[in-house]
């Protein structure tokens, strides 16, 4: 099943009321939980977080961000390389990841991470429907940005999607992406 096509988005009410409820992720190991939380305000693919080396968590910059880069592996597409601002619960989770020395347990093990997290979500009633998965957070971010009126180009830049129009300029850069994500940040 292709997660890009088949997974429904979580609703904002579900993310806020269930996934981010106090104690909702208790029992999930810290690295797995924090990886999930990084996705909440970024729409990053789990593999993009799990393959990120410590030095690409750029938390001391004026706009804290995570860098998605090849790092010796082939990116899904050229436009997948990007810098994504970190805000809210995602920034807090990234800080905890960095404090622990980066991704270790699930580094280059996104299938193991997905299996664990999806079983956890299912066992703890954290799937909005049976079709939902951790990947549904990516779809949630896309829908939330659309509902917030964020331009197609900026949404594509945030999610690492192909943009079918000629790209002129930097598309707002890190500041523009931060302003867009601030509209939906939890």
DSSP of 20-70: TSTTTTTTS-HHHHHHHHHHHTT---HHHHHT--GGGEETTSSS-EEEE--
Mean local confidence (pLDDT), 123-149: 96
Pick the closest to residue 109 from 156, 160, 51 (CA basis): 51
Locate tokens 């949404």: which residue? 155
Which of 3-12, 27-36, 160-169, 177-186 is the least confident region?
Answer: 160-169
> 70 pLDDT exceeds 80?
no
Mean pLDDT calculated for residue range 89-104: 98
Q: How far apart are CA 46 and CA 22, in angstroms?
A: 22
* Secondary structure (3-state) at 163: coil
More confident site: 79 or 173 = 173
Mean pLDDT of the chain: 89
pTM of the predicted model as reported, rounded to 2 decimal places: 0.89
Kindly state the average pLDDT of the residues 6-31.
96
Across the range 46-59, mean pLDDT stands at: 94
pLDDT of 3: 45
CATH no. for 3-182: 1.10.443.10
pLDDT on residue 148? 96
Least confident of 1-10, 54-63, 73-82: 73-82
Across 99-118, b (16+ Cβ under 10 Å) vs e yields: eeeebeebeeebeebbebbb
The arithmetic mean of pLDDT across residues 43-70, rounded, is: 94
Q: What CA–CA distance (Å, rounded) separates 180 from 144?
A: 10
Whole-angstrom distance, CA of residue 90 vs CA of residue 96: 10
Report the greatest alpha carbon distance in the chain: 47
Q: What percent of the chain is modeled with pLDDT above 90? A: 76
pLDDT band at 156 (very low <50, low <70, confident <90, very high): confident
| Distance from C-alpha of 114 to C-alpha of 132, rounded to nearest angstrom | 12
């Amino acid at each position: 099943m292709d997660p890009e096509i088949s997974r429904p988005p979580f609703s904002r009410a579900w993310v806020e009321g269930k996934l981010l409820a106090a104690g909702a992720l208790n029992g999930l190991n810290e690295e797995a939980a924090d990886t999930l939380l990084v996705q909440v305000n970024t729409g990053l693919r789990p593999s993009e977080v799990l393959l990120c080396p410590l030095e690409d968590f750029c938390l001391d910059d004026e706009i804290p961000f995570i860098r998605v880069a090849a790092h010796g592996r082939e990116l899904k597409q050229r436009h997948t390389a990007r810098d994504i601002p970190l805000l809210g619960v995602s920034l807090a989770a990234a800080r905890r990841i960095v404090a622990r020395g980066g991704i270790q347990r699930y580094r280059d093990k996104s299938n193991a991470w997905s299996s664990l997290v999806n079983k956890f979500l299912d066992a703890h009633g954290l799937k909005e429907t049976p079709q939902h998965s951790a990947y549904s957070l990516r779809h949630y971010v896309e829908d939330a940005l659309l509902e917030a009126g964020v331009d197609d180009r900026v949404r594509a830049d945030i999610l690492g999607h192909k943009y079918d129009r000629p790209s002129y300029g930097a598309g707002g850069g890190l500041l523009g992406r931060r302003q867009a994500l601030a509209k939906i940040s939890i």
